[in-house]
Amino acid sequence: MLSPFRLDLLGKYLCYAIVAVGISLAWGRGGMLTLGQGVFFGLGGYAMGMHLKLQDGELPDFMSWSGVEELPLLWKPFANPVFALAMVIVLPVLVATLLGLLVFRQRVRGAYFAVLSQALAAAFVILLIGQQGLTGGTNGLTNFQYFFGLDLYEDADRRILYLVTALILGASYLSVRQLVRSRYGQLLVAIRDGEDRVRFLGYDPALVKTVAFAVSAGLAGIAGALFVPLVGLLSPANLGIVASLELLVGVAIGGRYSLAGAVAGALLFNYAKTIFSEQWPDGWLYVQGALFVAVMVWAPRGLAGLSHQFRDALSSRRKVEVQA
């Protein structure tokens, strides 16, 4: 049995792994390099966090600190658990669908899309920090006591929460795997590799890509909602440009084209991050930077793709690289 402290960390990694499943779908299968997953993670997380803050029926603590006396209108519906749970998925999916349709319809893609998604993350974080009285500003939302009847300070109750998180990770892995193997999944890969050809065959690539992007956003939202009770806080620092990129690194290391690789990579990366930050805090950025470079230079398919790369090298066939 893991100590409660390690179990806490494991729960956090599981959340990141759920995000990784979504990224693997959007980036690995769909070729959409999304640098703004933190936005969707945050939307889901804040929807859940707002509900948890309202459970005791009092005004959230940070509001009285910043001089807000009455519950803002935006917060009121989140007192309803069904509404809050729905918003965990609806908000990120809605934002992703809107952005996806607007952007993909105009055939904005590749690097342009990556830059735009990153700008979205930057704007989102600045907005959260600026609206101190509404969002808790830089500190974000903290101090949660209960999660749907579970006491978050009880080890036994926390274990149930991990179990739920692990189950949701399993369920999202299986459903995305099913999605990838379906006709839709094949279409998505076809669009990644030759968008114009697929368009000439009569499909609408914008729609197909938007669906994948929205699914990945929904998964990030769910992960964010689980992150809040597991970790006990959610602040803009968990959602910004750097945080969004860190969500991606695990997937890159594990292997973007492999769903299992993405999950394993996210778990491994975040575990390594914890270990290194404990032992050698100043050095972690060097290690992380070097990891990026090493993976991109020597193993663009990630760890899961190493055998593939090895096979290619053996048969010495000319590699036909997938153009991202």
- Which residues are near another protein by CB under 8 A? 33, 35, 99, 102-103, 106-108, 110-112, 114-116, 118-120, 122-124, 126-127, 129-131, 196, 241, 245, 248-249, 252, 282, 285-286, 288-293, 296-297, 300, 321, 323-324
Q: Which residues contact 187 (CB under 8 A, 6 or more apart)?
A: 198, 203, 208
> CB of 141: closest distance to another protein in angstroms?
17
User: HEC string of the chain?
Assistant: CCCHHHHHHHHHHHHHHHHHHHHHHHHHHCCCCCCCHHHHHHHHHHHHHHHHHCCCCCCCHHHHHCCCCCCCCCCHHHHCHHHHHHHHHHHHHHHHHHHHHHHHHCCCCCHHHHHHHHHHHHHHHHHHHHCHHHHCHHHCEECCCEECCEECCCHHHHHHHHHHHHHHHHHHHHHHHHHHHCHHHHHHHHHHHCHHHHHHCCCCHHHHHHHHHHHHHHHHHHHHHHHHHHHCEECHHHCCHHHHHHHHHHHHHHCCCCHHHHHHHHHHHHHHHHHHHHHCHHHHHHHHHHHHHHHHHHCCCCHHHHHHHHHHHHHCCCCCCCCC
Nearer to another protein, 59 or 116 (CB): 116
Nearer to another protein, 2 or 119 (CB): 119
User: Distance between CA 154 and CA 141 in Å, rounded?
Assistant: 20
> CB of 174: closest distance to another protein in angstroms?
28
> CB of 193: closest distance to another protein in angstroms?
14
Nearer to another protein, 84 or 129 (CB): 129
The residues that bridge with 141 in the sheet, in sequence order, are 234
Nearer to another protein, 21 or 252 (CB): 252
> CB of 122: closest distance to another protein in angstroms?
5
What are the backbone angles phi and psi of residue 172, rounded to the nearest 5°?
Answer: -70, -35
> CB of 212: closest distance to another protein in angstroms?
16
Nearer to another protein, 39 or 208 (CB): 39
Nearer to another protein, 222 or 304 (CB): 304
Nearer to another protein, 2 or 127 (CB): 127
> CB of 265: closest distance to another protein in angstroms?
13
> CB of 307: closest distance to another protein in angstroms?
20
> CB of 93: closest distance to another protein in angstroms?
18
Nearer to another protein, 16 or 144 (CB): 16
